[in-house]
Structure 1
Amino acid sequence: MLTPVSSRSGAPASVRAFAPALWSLLLTFVVLGPLLTSPGYLLLRDAVSTPRSFLTDSALGLSDAAARAVPQDALLAWVTTMIDGGIAVTVILALSVWAAGWGAARLVSVVLPRAGIPGQLVAATVAVWNPYVAERLLQGHWSLLAGYAALPWAMCAAVTIRRRRRGGWPALTLSLAAAGLTPTGVLLAAVGALAVLAVPGGRVSVPARVAGGAALTVCASLPWLTATFLAGGGTEADPAGVRAFAARAEPMLGTLGSLAGLGGIWNAGAVPESRSTPWALVGTVLLLVVVGCGVPALWRRRRHPVVVSAAVLAALAVLGPAVAATGAGLAGGAWSMENVPGTGLLRDTQKWVALAMPGYALAAAAGVGALRRRFSGPSTVWATALIAGLLLALPDLAWGVSGQIRPVHYPDGWRKVAESVTARDGDVAVLPGGMFRIFDFSGLVAVLDPLPRMVRADVLQTGTLVVAGGTVAGEGHRAEEVEELLLTGADPAALAANGVGWVVVEHGTPGGLGESQRTLDALEQVYGDDDLSLYRVDGVSGDASPHRASAIAAHMVWLLMSACGAVGVLVQRFARSRKQP
């Protein structure tokens, strides 16, 4: 039996109750320190924040590219009418990391109440301080971490629903809506919640609660489901992406060992330095020892629905991506990309390792009591030892993953170009070709071109990715045609015929320009400096997608769902506080 924290502790009960939240907040500050202490914008690989975003058709997912950043981009377009985009992204990211730790602690308090505050602090550390968080930060998947953070909260809400207590459905509504910032995020939270809801038992029938959870999942997914249905983006995917995005073996670990240690992202450049050395083995062993200490205790509680769900999810989250990285798995994945529409969403298999986090957190928390029973001593001592082991396992996660997660500042020319481009005069084509850039002001790491999130008009992007020396084709066929016109020096009339009203040249970044100068010489230059040049194509007027109203309506449903969930949770908390003496 796990031992609760002593009621004779010198700390007031209110302080002890908030200890996991405060500890998670401290960890968040240590991880994101450079972003939280300096002004600027997150611009690292896939992460792009800009001073202001706009509600373009692309932001709504209404393009021939997959709706991967829906409703994230639309939310930023609305939020940045009130606050700076750099602040908005930093706040969302910080809240996500904080909520991940606090949510893991909350899951422990619900499932293993006798683990007490020491167990909850260990669980919070597991959720925040691990290779998955580090690698997704370095890859720039800041919004995916919102879904990662919502996962334990969604599972807690599912337990409340099973017990037929008030507040369960509002909490699940809010969790899924928060996770719904990206398609993958809502799927992560939904899988965790539905796994708990589907286990037999409880005071509410299984079909009723599963149907309710599925309905909420659909509502939280409406923005990207609607965009995909109306625009058709992302229904096809290049089979080459399966191999390019397969989980990767880290030093001395192999693929399975890397995944078991919550690492193994496909991009070898998006890993902390310690994970590219033999310390990856040491760190993984430390993490698995911390988790393994509590496995026997969880086994004794194997009839608990959350323990069962978390254990099964952890096993599948590690074994599934490992199998997908084998020859047979790669062949099966390639077949699905060619024959099953929409499976491109699943090609980055390592991201599903997030589903192991609740099980790892529960096991680590249970380990505190197990160590105390076996070796005696206060729970706080063993919790401190386990936390120290977790921190030591990944020492370079601190301070922005050794300073790599830091704000940048755009040269003034970006603001001037953004002010000059209008939405009514056609779409924007960009040179050099490709989606990724290397700028002096953002360091030597390739970053996603920030222009599409900075101007009022749609920026044409091919979606083609260069990964591990190979190429993964994107879905932007119209953008490919326009890019070919520019690189072959086509007449401006050909650009106008394709709805292109602007051409932006981003200087100083690698990439081919082909014969584009011939086209540019025939255009009116609106602005130019050492960083950017802006050209106008005459005779083009922009036409908004006929599906904008439907896409915006779907986003409104998601926003309404978020608001209703938040209000419901606050009302329930207020009601409980009124009942307490």
Structure 2
Amino acid sequence: MSRPESSRMSTTAALPAVWSLVLAVAVLGPFLVAPGYLLFRDAVSTPRSFLTDSALGLSDAAARAVPQDALLGWVSTVVDGGVAVTALLVASLWAAGWGAARLVAVVLPASGTGARLVAATVAIWNPYVAERLLQGHWSLLAGYAALPWTICAAVAIRRRRRGGWVSLAVCLAAAGLTPTGALLAIVTSCAVLVAPGGRTRVVPRVGGALALGVAVSLPWLVATALAGGGTEADPAGVRAFAARAEPLLGTIGSVAGLGGIWNAEAVPTSRTTAWALMGTLLLLAVVACGVPALWRRRRNPVIVAVVVPAVLTVLVIALAATGPGLAVGEWAMVNVPGAGLLRDTQKWVAWAMPAYALAAAAGTTVLARRFAAPEPVWATAAIAAVLVALPDLVWGVGGQLQPARYPAGWEKVSQIVTADGGDVAVLPAGMFRVFDFSGPVPVLDPSPRMLRADVLQTGTLIVAEGSVAGEGRRAEDVETLLLSGADPSALAARGVGWVLVEHGTPGESGAAKSTLDALEPAYRDDDLSLYRVEGVTSTPSPHRALAIGAHVVWLLVLAGGAGCALGQRVGEHRRLVGAREQS
């Protein structure tokens, strides 16, 4: 092979990665052109995070944000936390598109570059990505992005290709940034590995995947076992977080179109109008073109392992929003420990993405073969259809996502609060805030990630149908004391050493002024007031060492696997260069 021809092939192979990066930048552009922090609904980034007991999952609340919070606590010691979150988010979207293209190359090797570009577009430019961004679930998108790479790694293991296990370790660890992401990737890998065929035996390969899955899940498994948070869940959450029908679609149509998030406000503007129907039809048309091609390959166990879970996921999520489905879910919340992790059913529609990407790519190839126009023409048409289906995903989902800047008082308060001076109680009551500096959309209180001490939070969520109780029993007790104007000694007896009042945000304060008047102010400005409760010291959880050890195992799997994979790539590149020089 001549060097110019080899160079052209390398450039063509790189196109899906470049195109995926272009799409990721188009979505997250506001955070790349202006400094600031992601502060939107459930998403909270801060200049610096700390390795508190809560960050390790050692509280009475469910360990939903581990090892995410611990990772940011470590990383933000050397890199600004806002930069870290933006980088992770860009990397997630980039990896989702690039991974979808790579999946097509592995499973449908006859497909061309155009088909792979279509797959990359479907993986990034869809309602699931938009709605999870608007809900603030940035770390969930890391698990979403890992799915196509996980399938590729599982295929390599089935074929006994070099580096398969290392790649799978990296994929599962990257997905394991959240418990949901870990489960998404573990189930996906097992579905591919349990399918018959391949050059390796089923039991060892599935057992190996499960062992890796347990290793990367240790942060939240250990935290749940030690602290017991989240083993019970409010049944009201099942109805509140069920998938939702979007305009003219019904629940099944919304979910099939990769949409239908429970929060009607966390959707792009185009999905609140009749365009939701048109956009869904455009996306599904691109996907449907490849369904016959995948059906003809139904003897391929990998395709079956990707497509069947996708179909079942859409059907089960839609059924879970019906009367019988809600009843089953409510029963599970009461009787099955840890079932609260499953209550937001629409987030599991991520399992459909790899199948959609494969079908879209297959359809592009089929159309190019059946009709006179070359593949690039059909690929361009398919990409245009997917982009037009969701026109307002661009630039921060139609400008809804913009970087925020904290007032100076937040940094000053974070310097005053010490890790050993007791826990922090916050006013007004509740977990969500509306700040002038972050815009009109409610956002999770940033103080738990901004301060060195544990911040007590009830976990209670206010939704359209009412409220969903959280797991923070001690926080509820302290909140009740504050709202009733209790003596500071009652707070001290419960380990509260600080009271932070956040001004200018709606919320109930009750008779808390009586308590605050009896406390010594430690800081005060127009945005924040910090009070010291004297005589309180805090004792770290006795389980910190075990929890940190679990996080270190996860980090070692991630970093060690990435290092091994990089070493293998470098070795392969050197061998290739050597072979070319000899030819």
Smaller-chain TM-score bracket: over 0.9
1:304 matched to 2:321? The reply is no
1:474 to 470, 474, 480: 470
Q: Which residue of 1 aligns with 2:118?
A: 122
Q: Secondary structure at the match of 1:12?
A: helix
Q: Distance in 1 between matches of 2:403 and 2:15?
A: 30
Task: Give yes or no for contact 2:502–2:527 (8 Å, CA) kept in 1.
Answer: yes
Task: Give yes or no for contact 1:152–1:192 (8 Å, CA) kept in 2.
Answer: no
Matches within 5 A, 1:90-105: 90-105=86-101
Q: How far did 1:305 drift?
A: 2.1
Q: How far did 1:468 drift?
A: 1.2
1:283 matched to 2:284? The reply is no
Task: Give yes or no for contact 2:242–2:343 (8 Å, CA) kept in 1.
Answer: yes
Q: Distance in 1 between matches of 2:24 and 2:52?
A: 33
Q: How far did 1:65 drift?
A: 0.2
1:156 matched to 2:121? The reply is no
- Deviation above 3 Å: which 4+ runs of structure 1? 7-11
Task: Give yes or no for contact 2:49–2:81 (8 Å, CA) kept in 1.
Answer: yes
Q: Distance in 2 between matches of 1:301 and 1:534?
A: 64
Q: Distance in 1 between matches of 2:79 and 2:302?
A: 40
Matches within 5 A, 1:29-44: 29-44=25-40
Q: Secondary structure at the match of 1:399?
A: helix
Q: How far did 1:578 drift?
A: 2.8
Q: Distance in 1 between matches of 2:300 and 2:90?
A: 32
1:107 matched to 2:103? The reply is yes
Q: Distance in 2 between matches of 1:71 and 1:377?
A: 49
Q: Which residue of 2 aligns with 1:202?
A: 198
Root mean square deviation of aligned Cα:
1.2
Q: Distance in 2 between matches of 1:380 and 1:471?
A: 51
Matches within 5 A, 1:373-384: 373-384=369-380
Matches within 5 A, 1:395-414: 395-414=391-410
Q: How far did 1:571 drift?
A: 2.2
1:577 matched to 2:579? The reply is no
Q: Distance in 2 between matches of 1:191 and 1:153?
A: 13
Matched to 1:341, the amino acid is: P
Q: Distance in 1 between matches of 2:440 and 2:261?
A: 20
Q: Which residue of 2 aligns with 1:440?
A: 436
Q: Distance in 2 between matches of 1:390 and 1:515?
A: 54
Q: Secondary structure at the match of 2:424?
A: strand
1:512 matched to 2:526? The reply is no
Q: How far did 1:234 drift?
A: 0.4
Q: 1:9 to 1:401 in 2, by over 3 A?
A: farther
Matched to 2:303, the amino acid is: V
Task: Give yes or no for contact 1:426–1:457 (8 Å, CA) kept in 2.
Answer: yes
Q: Secondary structure at the match of 1:567?
A: helix
Task: Give yes or no for contact 1:499–1:540 (8 Å, CA) kept in 2.
Answer: yes
Matched to 1:422, the amino acid is: T
Q: Distance in 1 between matches of 2:270 and 2:461?
A: 27
Structure 2 residues not aligned, in runs of 5+: none
Q: 1:111 to 1:467 in 2, by over 3 A?
A: same
Matches within 5 A, 1:310-389: 310-389=306-385
Matched to 1:411, the amino acid is: P
Q: Secondary structure at the match of 2:359?
A: helix
Q: How far did 1:373 drift?
A: 2.2
Q: How far did 1:192 drift?
A: 1.2
Matched to 1:162, the amino acid is: R
Matched to 1:173, the amino acid is: A
1:216 matched to 2:212? The reply is yes
Matched to 1:49, the amino acid is: S
Q: Distance in 1 between matches of 2:195 and 2:34?
A: 47
Aligned pairs, how many? 575
Q: Distance in 2 between matches of 1:519 and 1:199?
A: 63
Q: Distance in 2 between matches of 1:579 and 1:161?
A: 22
Q: Which residue of 2 aligns with 1:12?
A: 8
Q: How far did 1:40 drift?
A: 0.4
Q: Which residue of 2 aligns with 1:546?
A: 542
Matched to 1:203, the amino acid is: R
Q: Secondary structure at the match of 2:522?
A: strand
Q: Which residue of 2 aligns with 1:62?
A: 58
Q: Secondary structure at the match of 1:489?
A: coil
Matches within 5 A, 1:136-147: 136-147=132-143
Q: Secondary structure at the match of 1:527?
A: strand
Q: How far did 1:404 drift?
A: 1.1
Task: Give yes or no for contact 1:408–1:442 (8 Å, CA) kept in 2.
Answer: yes
Task: Give yes or no for contact 2:112–2:365 (8 Å, CA) kept in 1.
Answer: no
Q: How far did 1:190 drift?
A: 1.1
Structure 1 range deviating more: 239-248 or 183-192: 183-192
Q: Which residue of 1 aligns with 2:559?
A: 563
